[in-house]
Structure formats: C-alpha cells, structure tokens
Structure 1
Amino acid sequence: MNSLSLSELCCLFCCPPCPSRIAAKLAFLPPEPTYSLVPDETGSKFSLHLTERAEWQYSQRELDCIEVFYTRTTKGNRIACMFAKCSPNAKYTLLFSHGNAVDLGQMSSFYIGLGSRINCNIFSYDYSGYGGSSGKPSEKNLYADVDAAWNALRTRFGINPQNVVLYGQSIGTVPTIDLASRYEVGAAVLHSPLTSGMRVAFPDTKRTWFFDAFPSIEKVPKITSPVLVIHGTEDEVIDFSHGLQIHERCPRAVEPLWVEGAGHNDVELYGHQVLNIQFLQSPLGKHYV
C-alpha cells in the first residue's frame, strides 16, 4: 500500500472503518431536487414537473415523451424512475446511472438529446436520497437502487436484456459494474470509472482492503458483456489510471475511448464521437450482439 499505516487509515475514516463511512466521505452530494412527480386523480400515474433549476431545453412535445414513476427497492426506499422514449424504432435502451451532484431533472434534457442523437431510448433513476427518491445515499442503497431500476425496466417495459446497454458515469459506474457483473446485457459503458474508494482517496493503494468502498476493480472480471471504457486523460477527480485499470480487467473490453486533455466533467466537449457512442451501431451492433 502507501506510506500510511493501517492505524492511521482507521483514524482517518472514523475508527473502526466501514464502507458506508468511506462512501459518505468520498461520493454522495445530492443536490436540491429540481423536479417533482405529480400524481393524477387516481394516484396511479405521474407527470414530470421541472423547476427552473432543471434548465429544460426542449418543448412540451419532448416532455410528453418522458414517462415517470416510482418503484420500491429491497431496502424499502421509493426511487424515482424516468423513461425517455426518444425513438419509436429504437433497438437499444440505455439504463443510465448518472454522476454525482445531479438528479433526473437536471439530466432530462441531456437524455432527450442523447437518445435522439444515437436513436435509442433512455431509462434512468435517482439514487436513494437524490431528487424524488426517498432514503439516504449509501453504498448498499446504491446496489439496491440499480436492482430496482433493472427490475422495473424488465417487468414494466419487457425489454430483452440483450437490447439493454448499461451506462454509468463517475459514481454511476459503481452500480453499473455491480449489475453488469451479475447479468449479461447488450453492453456496458463505463464513463470515468473508479476502481475503488480507497484508491481514489489514496492513489498509491495497491490492494482492496476489507473496509474499502465501491470495490469495482474486483467485480469487472465477472462482466461477460462487451465493455467500453471512456476516460479523460486529465481527469482531476478520478485519475486516468482508474480507467486504464478497469479496461485491463474487463474480459470483453472493446477499444477504449481515451479523450486527450479532457477532465472529469467535460469529456463531451472534446469530440462528437463520445455522444455518438458509435459502438452501439458499430462494432457492437455488427460484431458483439
């Protein structure tokens, strides 16, 4: 490991160390909600109400293409889900696990733009304690949240797993990798992934400690689906080395997208190829699915 002793690490992470405390220190920054789900007279259907902070960029027509609802996790939390029907002829649906410090309201315009551009639908959800979702953010809740989203996508919309592409960005790569390690899907995209919580906090960490949080590096070898890793070479939040290590450990990794000069939150500004996600049509569509 690095020069820090185990006792020093224990003190740093509030002895005794535990994954939930490490996760809380490193990861979760839920914003003030930028939306609400408004029930109809029956209480069985919901409509999406966005605040000004959501910065919606489209018309009512696009807003009407978004279906919203709640689903329940195994931890008892009620999480908000969003299905953006961007294309009536879409072959793929992205199950999108967003990054930190945003919620579904802030992501809604991006989902419409992305889905329209690459001809796919997008299903997303808010983590426990984010947006309209109840509970508190934690590592365990993160895994329960993505399971609930996966089950809702499969049962409510009947989408074949081979037509689902898991997309995780930053902290969203944690539930994405966890889900991909347990289910075979069309593919997975890992945008600025982290290897583990300890490795983010202490870059010289060489092993996974029992109290580490988000140990994604230990799960990626179990992923049987094709994986595309995207990472900016100048990422100031999650070092580029994390993307390299994740890519090296994926059994079916496709050619990665290393974005020269990009940081953590500006990868899309360094080339249209990121938003095109060309692997959805080629080579994935031709060679992997």
Structure 2
Amino acid sequence: MGKVSPVSQSTMRLPADFSSRAWLLLPFAFAASMLLGYGVIGLVLWGCETCVSYFIFQPDRTLYAKPADFSFNVRDVGLPVTVPGDAGQSLHGWWVAAPAWDAKVVLYLHGNDGNVSTSMGEIAPLRELGYAVFMPDYRGYGESEGRFPSEKTVYEDAEAAWTYLVEQRGFRPAKLYIYGHSLGGAIAIELALHHPEAAGLIVESGFTSIREMAKLRKRYALLPMQLLSQRFDSIQKVSKLRLPVLYIHGTADEVVPYAMGEQLFRASGGRKRFIAIGGGLHNNNAAVGGPLLRAAIRDFIEESGASALTE
C-alpha cells in the first residue's frame, strides 16, 4: 500500500526532449495570451464606447409638430450630406423666417435629445426678437437620414448647415450667428473654431467636457473616459475662439452644473459675456429668463454684429 506500480511510473515519465519543446512553445503561448488580453480590452472599450454613446445621444425620430402647425412662417429644408461614405443621405431642418428680409440669421444647434420639433420653445426669444432661425436635425434625428450619431458626424452636420446658409442661401458670415444649447453648445464651439468669420457665438447650458459630465453620473464614473474617442472637450477649445461669445446658464440647471458655464466663460478668449438666469433649469431659460434673456441676446447680437461689419 502506498507503492507506485511500474505501470504508473512509466506513464508519468516525460519525453527526454519535452523541455526543449516547451521552450519553443512559449512565444506562441505568450502571443496568444497577449491577443486574448487585447481582445478583452478591446471588448471592454467597445462596451464603454457604446454606453457613452447612449449617454451622449438620445435621438428621437418622431416629429411632434409639423411646419404647418405654427401660426408663423416655418418650412422644412432638405440639404445633402457630402462627406465620403454618407454621400447621398440628406439632412432635414426647419427654417423659421423673419418678418424683415434683411434680418440677422441664427444657426441653432439643439441638444442631445428630441429634434427640431421639440426645440421651438428654446428659439422663441430669437423669433420674438425678429431674427431668422435655421435649425438642422443631425443624422439620426427627426427626418434626417443616417445611422446613430457620433461626435464626428454631428460636427459634419453642423458644417453642412453652415455651408447651406453661406453658399446656397447666400448669407454673409457677418450676418450669421451660431447658437448651441447643451450638447449643441459643444457642437457650436467646434463650428465657431472653424468659422471665426461668423458674427458671434451663443452657448446656452454648455458643459466643459463629456468626461466631466460622466463623473456626475454614478453609472459612468468608473469608465476609462480618457481612452474614449468621443470627448466634446469644449473647455480645451474655448480659449482659441476668435469671435464674440455670449454664455447663458440657468442657476438651477439640474443637468449641467451652473459652475460649468462659469468655467467655460472664464476659459474663453476674446470678447465674451455671461448671463445667469436666476432659477433657470436646463431647458426653460427662455420661459424663466423672459425680458432679461431677450434683452441680453438682442444687445449681444446687435453689438457684435455692428463690430463684425466694421472689421
């Protein structure tokens, strides 16, 4: 009892060249483990990118109103997507006409959810002040064609809207203002960097970066945000702006902290203003701000427009 039989001993004996064979296999084993590791990391990053994409973008295909539903002049506008790979697709937007033919024009870029039909309340001050407004829907929103949006595609779509106004409609940049709300503010900042010839930029309820926004949400706080491709890093861009900027932020904003609006303002270069809407939430500054907001927008547009025409 306790002795190993000769048969057992023979089955446990290893070939004489086993060690040399094992050493030959080590590089392959190492490579396989590295590939597996990179595959796991890639899968994790892909999952993170997907989670963050749905955090950033919440597109809505349903239009809750039609241009004909309004008592003022609103019409649907289609314009082509010209970027490689997506050529042939079209964007849709709404053109809200102004009473005067020579009115200033505002390119309004809405936030991460809804579409143009849910943004009419936000543009009410612009319409009441007599400005013409063009609101495009990004690809994936409303009637605009295309797949789920990304940082790259929304920048391209904003550029397409600018090109439409300048090249097809013939508006001079000195009459054009770029206005962005929330995520649209980050898109507007990027567009303004490429078009400093615009008369001015308005950023409402803007955030500093997606990374900082994710830190405010427990479910995203532990994601490796520094490795993700979609950043909307406005705080790193605003110092390079070379046109007048008006920042608007509600003091009670429940989505983007009021402090982020202040940070963007402080980091901005050039001529800038900041208006705080007392008690304003993320989406109701137009209603809460009332005459104060309209006066701030009017003064900014008229003053920056006058300086743009004389430069």
Q: Which residue of 1 aligns with 2:134?
A: 123
RMSD of equivalent CA atoms: 3.0
Q: Which residue of 2 aligns with 1:68?
A: 77
Q: Aligned pair 1:213/2:225, yes or no? A: no
Of residues 133, 143, 152, the one that matches 2:144 is 133
Structure 2, unpaired ranges of 5+: 1-39
Structure 1, unpaired ranges of 5+: 1-10, 37-47, 51-55
Equivalent residue runs for 1:199-278 within 5 Å: 199-203=212-216, 209-211=226-228, 213-272=231-290, 273-276=292-295, 277-278=297-298
Go from structure 1 to structure 2 and tell me whether the alpha carbon gap of 1:161 and 1:288 turns closer, same or farther (over 3 Å shift).
Answer: closer
- Larger deviation: 254-263 or 20-29? 20-29
% identity of equivalent residues: 25
Q: Report which of the two has the higher share of helix.
A: 2
Q: Secondary structure at the match of 1:238?
A: coil
Equivalent residue runs for 1:55-134 within 5 Å: 56=69, 58-59=70-71, 62-63=72-73, 65-74=74-83, 76=86, 77-108=89-120, 111=123, 113-134=124-145
Go from structure 1 to structure 2 and tell me whether the alpha carbon gap of 1:213 and 1:253 turns closer, same or farther (over 3 Å shift).
Answer: same
Structure-2-length-normalised TM-score:
0.73
Of residues 35, 53, 62, the one that matches 1:24 is 53
| CA offsets 1:92-151 (integer angstroms, 9 cap, x no match) | 11000012322122335764x444411211111001100001112111111111111111
| CA offsets 1:36-61 (integer angstroms, 9 cap, x no match) | 9xxxxxxxxxxx666xxxxx4x33xx
Structure 2 Cα separation of the partners of residues 209 and 171 of structure 1: 19
Q: Secondary structure at the match of 1:81?
A: strand
| Kept in 1: contact 2:155–2:187 (CA 8 A) | yes
Q: Secondary structure at the match of 1:166?
A: strand
| Kept in 2: contact 1:226–1:288 (CA 8 A) | no
Letter in 2 for 1:175: I
| Kept in 1: contact 2:200–2:301 (CA 8 A) | no
Structure-1-length-normalised TM-score:
0.78
Go from structure 1 to structure 2 and tell me whether the alpha carbon gap of 1:271 and 1:81 turns closer, same or farther (over 3 Å shift).
Answer: closer
Letter in 2 for 1:31: D
Go from structure 1 to structure 2 and tell me whether the alpha carbon gap of 1:260 and 1:108 turns closer, same or farther (over 3 Å shift).
Answer: closer
Q: Which residue of 2 aligns with 1:45?
A: none
Of residues 165, 168, 173, the one that matches 2:180 is 168
Go from structure 1 to structure 2 and tell me whether the alpha carbon gap of 1:243 and 1:49 turns closer, same or farther (over 3 Å shift).
Answer: closer
Equivalent residue runs for 1:47-62 within 5 Å: 56=69, 58-59=70-71, 62=72
Structure 1 Cα separation of the partners of residues 48 and 186 of structure 2: 13
Structure 1 Cα separation of the partners of residues 144 and 284 of structure 2: 27
| Kept in 2: contact 1:82–1:125 (CA 8 A) | yes
Q: Which residue of 1 aligns with 2:208?
A: 195
Structure 1 Cα separation of the partners of residues 286 and 122 of structure 2: 11
Structure 2 Cα separation of the partners of residues 28 and 86 of structure 1: 31
Structure 2 Cα separation of the partners of residues 148 and 19 of structure 1: 29
Q: Secondary structure at the match of 1:181?
A: helix
Residues matched between the structures, number: 256
Go from structure 1 to structure 2 and tell me whether the alpha carbon gap of 1:116 and 1:241 turns closer, same or farther (over 3 Å shift).
Answer: closer
Structure 2 Cα separation of the partners of residues 29 and 192 of structure 1: 17
| CA offsets 1:208-248 (integer angstroms, 9 cap, x no match) | 93535211111111210100001112211111121011111
- Larger deviation: 251-260 or 27-36? 27-36
